[in-house]
Structure 1
Amino acid sequence: MKILFAASEAVPFVKSGGLADVIGSLPEVLREQKLDVRVILPKYGDIAESFRSKMETAATLSVFLGWRNQYCGVQVLEHNGITYYFVDNEFYFRRGGLYGYGDDAERFIYFSRAVLEALPHLGFKPDILHCHDWQTGLIPYLLKRLYMQHPFYQSIKTVFTIHNLRYQGRFNRKLMQDLLGMGDEYFGMGDHLEYYGDGNCMKAALESADVVTTVSRTYAEEIQTEYYGEGMDGVLRKRSWSGELTGIVNGIDNTLFDPMKDPNLAEPFRNALSKKRRNKTALQAELGLTVDERIPMIGIVSRLVEQKGLDLIQTMMDELLAEKLQLVVLGTGEERYEHLFLDKAHWHPDQVSAHITFHDGLARKIYAASDMFLMPSQFEPCGLGQLIALRYRSVPIVRETGGLKDTVSAYNEDTGEGTGFTFFDYNAHEMLYAVKRALKCYADEEAWNQIMKNIAKTDFGWEQSAKQYVQLYRQVMSGGNAPVALSPADAASEEPSDEEAPEAAADAPALEAASE
């Protein structure tokens, strides 16, 4: 099968969030499943010259937008065995950053039209167009509404993946009519594009794509409710009842996130707790915290926004700091949360370290050094932070929502099962109680070692999810419904442990025991 991913960002070219990690890693794993997967992206100004200089022009064409014909260049580059196409229009994309401009509606309507117009010029006709988030939401809609009358497009199927339902691409109806050159008949009640008098790119995709997916099983269930549905729950329930909505949990690149080979770490490790704790003391010294491997360290690597549960942390900050722990925070976001962590770091310099930036190297140091990773999200479609934390053997403390529920199992002290600490209600005191349970367990060497053993058996690499995507694509091509969403596999890892594996360690606890 030939699959073309259409997305607005991808590692290593440009990144604003987890979407870029998915688009940068999933195609490579699908290629190993014998699929011909390629990717098409905007050619942003932020793409490094080292990539831009290697791009070759594959086609030049015009794209109709409103009353104008806009230039479109399609450039091509092969990277890690994957062919990437870049839609080149300097007016729309040669700017700093990816989103947040006043003409984002025009930019991504143009991109959606450009993808469809470029297809006959690529020398590659996809069986399936796999579109991601609202920036590509008009592709399934326009394909069915305007392009299906042309024989070239009639056999092409579409899959649309929701990475975050909150961001929908809702714009003024008159603006969208002008840009699309569409009359009132396209915006009537019941039309896929119309949404309470406006146009909505996400809704257009949800109703037009052959199959809709999202990035975890639980999130696929949650978004069918009014609380999580962001106004789309009715549409999503309809797709689910038709068997056309499924959830496939995201994975991570186990090669990219490997504490045995990560050059950012003070000391590589896999299942050696003593080595992990040397990473902790190294980071404590680097950040000016009290250097003591016995003090539990909680890491937060996140966008500092309310969705991530920061209001719960804000409410309980003084109670958290009353515990014997250290808190290391990395991220940017809302000013009130940035100031919260900076203020606490100022008044508790031996206990709190706050870094209002994004730095991949420091993020990896935090994952490797922290004993626990706090992620109390209000909602979380999938989440990559907890997966990376598990990979670096940092125990997640999470709310039971979306992908967090699917990937972190609650520790049961009676049975010894579980990989983290969870709470259900979106409540600050419940979060605090989960943190206290984790701290109590940390003080119990035997219990902590058992959690580490449990985590060592997990594997959230892309391989299991890729197999589900292959099954999905086959069913789409055969005209069948989406497969029932599967639970993420807790496959036993076959990776070699280092020399201080649990069974071999005589002088260390039993673990001498892992992010659009």
Structure 2
Amino acid sequence: MKILYVTSEAAPFAKSGGLGDVAGSLPKALKQKGVDIRVILPLYRDIPDSFKKNMEVIGSYEVELNWRKQICEISRLTMDDVVYYFIGNSYYFDRDGLYGYFDEAERYLFFSKAVLDFVPKFDFWPDIVHCNDWQSAIIPFVLEKQYRTHYRQLKSVLSIHNIKYQGVYGEDTIMDILGLNKEDLTRDIEYKGDTNMMKAGIYNANWVTTVSPTYAKELEYEYYGEGLHGVIKANNHKMTGILNGIDYGIYNPQTDKHLYVNYTKSLKKKNENKRQLMKELDLKYDEDKPLVGIISRLDELKGIDLITGVIYEIMKLGLNLVVLGTGDKKYEDVFKHIHNSFPDNISVNIKFDSATASKIYAASDIILMPSRVEPCGLTQIIALKYGTIPLVRRTGGLNDTITKFDVVSGEGNGFVFNSYNAHEMLSELNRAVCLFRVNRDSWNKLVANAFKSRFDWSQSANQYIEIYD
């Protein structure tokens, strides 16, 4: 079985979010299970030179974009027994950052066509091309419209990591770049007078996956489907929700080089990380006050509006708070303002870096994730490995990974609330703070449950193999 895994980002080369984490770890897990899987992604300027210097240029070819042609240079690098191919083009990818440019449609249509043109030119002919998110979702559509006579047996899989981002562009743009006629823009790509790459991928892929079972079900509802709920319903016969995992070789408090003290399940050593981080952040340590961490993009989808709406009530619960992330300026400003009111109890870090994130995972008692939408979420899974208790809203992958702790039975690995409501979140946070403060035996049992929770890629990789077969 040969799989060409197509992604716009992959750790450790280039990453902006969860897709990068998945693309950096799932292929390794599949390779370990005997799948001949290779990854192909753009050769961005931001890929570190330490990787680029070890790449081998294996060839180049022209990619036709209707009336113009662009040169594509292919580089290859093998790491962790996985072969990576990099599509190089200085015009499209020799830029700062990964996304956000005016010609985004042209950049990723070029990338998608370059992938399809790649297949017969080199030493790897896949059985399946596995696409990810809107940047490569057009591939199944183009495969059927323009390449099917050349690739009669090639199948396609599309993974939806976040349906909010769909690749919606004007009809003229798509026709001009792909060389299509008006009659080629059939109902499987047409969207409110424009074209929608995600929609085209869903209709034309042989199979579609999402990043958690609950998210797969949620997408059939208007609230979550971002305008494509009808498309999801029409194609649910070929859709599977597969929970993302994490690479425990990367996220492991026993080996994490960023921690003050490494540990496996030692609460004493975990608490030492808490002491040291609070000292570094100029927070006042109190053994009876839990440290609550927020590691998140600061926007409404992540439930940040719930937090800022009751931020004073949260601080009155008797806790310390550390925030790490960037996003909507109005939320950044609220956190900065609240820091001035509680300088000894809240640290606000408007940035993101992995070293600080690791320290917060290890030092925090609670990780707060009141997401409005959370396709899978990796933060809560990482937190569990570090013995930090997630407090989440019951949605998407949060529902599939976190179960509400029951003091009587001792079962559960976190705190959960249901409605997207600030005061319901506040009530559950109060429950967590009270348990931490007055029932340390039950709290320690909860932490033990967190340590035992495991969401690696082994089982999920088996589910992908079933789909490939």
Equivalent residue letter for 1:463: S
Q: Give the CA deviation at 1:349.
A: 1.4
Which one of 397, 402, 409 corresponds to residue 403 of structure 1?
A: 397
1:329-355 CA distances to partner (integer Å, 9 max, x unpaired)? 001111011111122123311100011
Alignment match, 1:353 = 347
Contact 1:280 1:293 (C-alpha < 8 Å) held by counterparts: no
Match of 1:177 in 2: 175
Q: After the TM superposition, which residues 81-230 of structure 1 pair with which residues of structure 2 at under 5 Å, given as runs?
A: 81-150=81-150, 153-188=151-186, 190=187, 192-230=188-226
Cα deviation 1:299-325 (Å, max 9, x = unaligned): 011111110000000111000011210
AA at the equivalent of 1:224: E
**Structure 2: which 5+ residue stretches go unaligned?**
none
Task: Please state whether the residue corresponding to 1:10 is helix, strand or coil.
Answer: coil
Structure showing greater relative contact order (alpha-carbon pairs closer than 8 Å, 6 or more residues apart): 1
Aligned to 1:76: 76
Q: C-alpha distance in 1, partners of 2:365/2:253?
A: 14
Distance of 1:324 and 1:54 partners within structure 2: 52
Partner in structure 1 of residue 454 of structure 2 = 459
Does 2:440 match 1:445?
A: yes
- Superposed CA offset, 1:192-235 (max 9, x none): 21111111110010100000000000000000111111111111
Give the letter for the 1:385 counterpart.
T
> Which letter maps to 2:434?
K
Residues 448-502 of structure 1: CA distance to partner in whole angstroms, max 9, x if unpaired? 022122222211111111111111211xxxxxxxxxxxxxxxxxxxxxxxxxxxx
1:28-427 equivalence runs, <5 A: 28-150=28-150, 153-188=151-186, 190=187, 192-240=188-236, 242=237, 244-427=238-421
Equivalent AA in structure 1 for residue 156 of structure 2: T
Give the match's secondary structure for 1:77.
strand
Tell me, in whole angstroms, the C-alpha distance in 2 between the residues paired with 1:260 and 1:109.
Answer: 43
Following superposition, the deviation at residue 82 of structure 1 comes to 0.9
Residue 252 of structure 1, CA deviation: 0.4
Contact conserved, 1:281 with 1:293, CA < 8 A, in 2? no
Q: Is the 8 A contact 1:396 1:421 kept in 2?
A: yes
Question: Are the counterparts in 1 of residues 386 and 451 from structure 2 also a CA contact under 8 Å?
Answer: no
Could you tell me the TM-score, scaled by structure 1's length?
0.90
- Aligned mates of 2:328, 2:351 — CA distance in 1: 12
Mapped contact 1:66–1:181 kept (Cα < 8 A): yes
Counting aligned pairs with the same residue, the percent is: 48
Aligned partners of 2:443 and 2:122: how far apart in 1? 54
Q: How many pairs align?
A: 468
**Equivalent residue of 2:83, what SS?**
strand
Q: What one-letter code is carried by the residue in structure 2 that aligns with 1:194?
A: E
TM-score (norm 2): 0.98
Aligned partners of 2:388 and 2:450 also within 8 Å? no
Counterpart AA for 2:249: T
- Output the CA distance in 2 between the equivalents of 1:294 and 1:464: 39
SS in 1 for 2:69: strand
**Tell me, what secondary structure is at the counterpart of 1:75?**
strand
Residue ranges of structure 1 left out of the alignment (5+ in a row): 475-516
The runs of 4+ residues in structure 1 deviating greater than 2 Å are 291-294
Give the Å deviation of 1:238. Answer: 1.5
